[in-house]
Chain A
Amino acid sequence: MQYMLLIYSAEGDDDAQPGDIMAEYGAFTQGIVQSGAFKGADRLKPVADATTVRVRGGKTLTTDGPFAETREQLGGYYLVEAKDLDEATAIAAKVPTAKYGSIEVRPVWAMG
């Protein structure tokens, strides 16, 4: 089985941690890569950079922010390569759930 670990925290708390949280993440990633458990990981940009896509009545509705309704739960994800936000939201609008749920489009931090 594969499992997805979803990381939740209040934005800004990362910076408020004692010690170097990024170094801890480096060590953790290295550990699970060595153990063979690692499949993939990304750090997301903050929710302020999020855009939500919904399709209702055949029309694509694009809104600022992560406005998932409270009864909506995270049910899966796609990681896609797109030239810009318009291309990414066009792909998001084709996700079947976009017709009745919400697709949150969050940019991924480029890691180098």
Chain B
Amino acid sequence: MGHGVSPGEAFRRHSAEALASLIRLVGDFDLAEEGLQEAFAAAAVAWPKDPPANPRAWLIAVGRRKALDQLRRRIAFRSRRETLRVEAEIARQAAPEEADEAAAAFGDDDMLRLIFTCCHPALSLEARVALTLRTVCQLPTAAVARAFLVAEETMAQRLVRAKAKIRAAGIPYRTPAPDQLDERIDGVLAVAYLVFTEAYAGDPGRSLADEAIGLARRLDALLPGRGAIQGLLALMLLHEARRPARWDGAGDIVLLEDQDRALWRRDLIAEGLALVEPALRAATPPSPYAVQAAIAALHDEARTAADTDWRQIVALYAVLMRLSPSPVVELNHAAALAMVDGPATALQRIEALAARGALAGYDVLPAVRADLLRRLGRADDARAAYEAALALARHDPERRFFRRRLAELDRTACAGDG
């Protein structure tokens, strides 16, 4: 299969895997990255004439030699003591050529090592997200920076800092011990979920959702049958399926109830639905992600907004409240309750939630509150709540949506029916 593969294609297909193996072999993120970059430069010259049978193994073998050269060059700038250390390191790593093939065969294990190291809990969540997108997903630093609305220089610093901590604190390049695996998987899923929600809230053109789904798919393939992984993958697929209907031609948000369901991606819905049952059954009690996926499935299965099984959704939110109570779940529970018991009951719950101050700064709280007030005909209160949501919104599509709602309220007021 290697014949006729251009370096560009091989890069996309193999760079993360090759990098994962190289980090294990040379024991350092930066050195592995430099080695891989030089290997790709060499591939651009060598492959058109002589394509390798196994591009990944080729990249790992050449990348390792380039990294060792790099290490040798660095000696020139070291003290005597450091030189001895680096020479010992080179001797340790200058393994015979036949080790190359064995190294290439360990691709899957290395990918897990890379994922768990990038998502290590000793790194801050933002450092984990940055490092995962840059190394596991191979996004350019500039793209990672754009996605999180920071300057490229800031993001580059964040990556340097994260790699420095891995080195200085001795974060191991290893799959966690079995007794730590569940907890550490949760850490990886938190990264994937954050990337996905960031993509969901942002512009319609973002590819971050694909990266988050790709990461979860990869994790599910490497560690099959785990409810939390299946649950999050299903949850993301079932939401992503609605993306084509979630934005109108002008890039504005279309609410779930107004979406053209014919635009929903049936392939993603089918893939997601197939995962929901096994995810719910994988563990007792089920992973909160599996329950959230079950809720998303109920929306995706409804032919029209009016067909939505809100009673079942409210019941699932009650389960979620027991499994992982949080103000956000409470807010969603209240919003679903409005569809069963009416806006007045839901509003009471949300006022109580707001009074506790738990979600101060979160634009969805005033947005849900505003919607309930609007439906109750309390236009002035609704307007104030939309203004509050507008002030807190982080993304332009949300801001435009709140402004649209405010304009609608003004029009209704002008029409004289308050």
Write out, one digit per residue, whether chain A residues 50-70 have a CB within 8 A of any chain B CB (1) or not (0): 110000000111111100000
Residues of B within 8 A of A85 (CB): 120, 122, 169-172
Establish whether residues A86 and B172, one from each chain, have CB atoms under 8 Å apart when the complex forms.
yes
Residues of B within 8 A of A60 (CB): 183
Q: How far is the CB of B347 from chain A (nearest CB, A)?
A: 34
Identify whether the interface residues of A are mostly helix, strand, loop, or mixed. mixed
A61 CA to B183 CA in the complex, in Å?
A: 9
Residues of B within 8 A of A86 (CB): 171-172, 174, 176-177, 180
Residues of B within 8 A of A65 (CB): 124
A107 CA to B164 CA in the complex, in Å?
A: 13
**Residue of A49, A50, A65, A88 with most chain B CB atoms under a 10 A cut-off:** A49
- How many chain A residues touch B (CB < 8 A): the figure is 22
Write out, one digit per residue, whether chain B residues 162-184 have a CB within 8 A of any chain A CB (1) or not (0): 00110011111010110010010
A51 CA to B169 CA in the complex, in Å?
A: 8
A60 CA to B127 CA in the complex, in Å?
A: 20
Q: 6 closest Cβ contacts across the A-B interface?
A: A84-B172, A62-B121, A51-B122, A64-B124, A49-B168, A84-B170
Binding site for B on A (CB under 8 A): 45, 48-51, 59-65, 82-86, 88-89, 105, 107, 112
A49 CA to B171 CA in the complex, in Å?
A: 10
Residues of A within 8 A of B171 (CB): 84-86
Residues of A within 8 A of B176 (CB): 86
A4 CA to B122 CA in the complex, in Å?
A: 28
Residues of B within 8 A of A83 (CB): 172
In residues 128-173 of chain B, which contact A (Cβ within 8 Å)?
A: 161, 164-165, 168-172
A82 (CB) vs chain B CBs: closest residue: B170
Residues of A within 8 A of B123 (CB): 64
Residues of B within 8 A of A59 (CB): 183
A59 CA to B172 CA in the complex, in Å?
A: 21
In this assembly, does B81 line the interface, its C-beta being within 8 Å of a C-beta of chain A? yes
**Residue of A62, A84, A86, A107 with most chain B CB atoms under a 10 A cut-off:** A86
Residues of A within 8 A of B183 (CB): 59-60
Set B121, B169, B174, B180: member contacting A49, Cβ < 8 A = B169
Q: Provide 13 A-B residue pairs closer than 8 Å at the C-beta atoms, listed in order of the A residue.
A: A48-B161, A50-B169, A51-B122, A51-B169, A60-B183, A62-B121, A62-B122, A63-B122, A64-B124, A85-B122, A88-B170, A105-B169, A107-B169
A48 CA to B169 CA in the complex, in Å?
A: 9
Beyond known contacts A83-B172, A86-B172: 11 more, CB 8 A cutoff: A45-B169, A48-B164, A49-B168, A62-B121, A64-B127, A65-B124, A84-B174, A85-B171, A88-B170, A105-B169, A107-B169
A83 (CB) vs chain B CBs: closest residue: B172
Set B81, B121, B170: member contacting A63, Cβ < 8 A = B121
Residues of A within 8 A of B177 (CB): 86
Q: How far is the CB of A43 from chain B (nearest CB, A)?
A: 13
Establish whether residues B172 and A89, one from each chain, have CB atoms under 8 Å apart when the complex forms.
no
In residues 78-123 of chain B, which contact A (Cβ within 8 Å)?
A: 81, 120-123
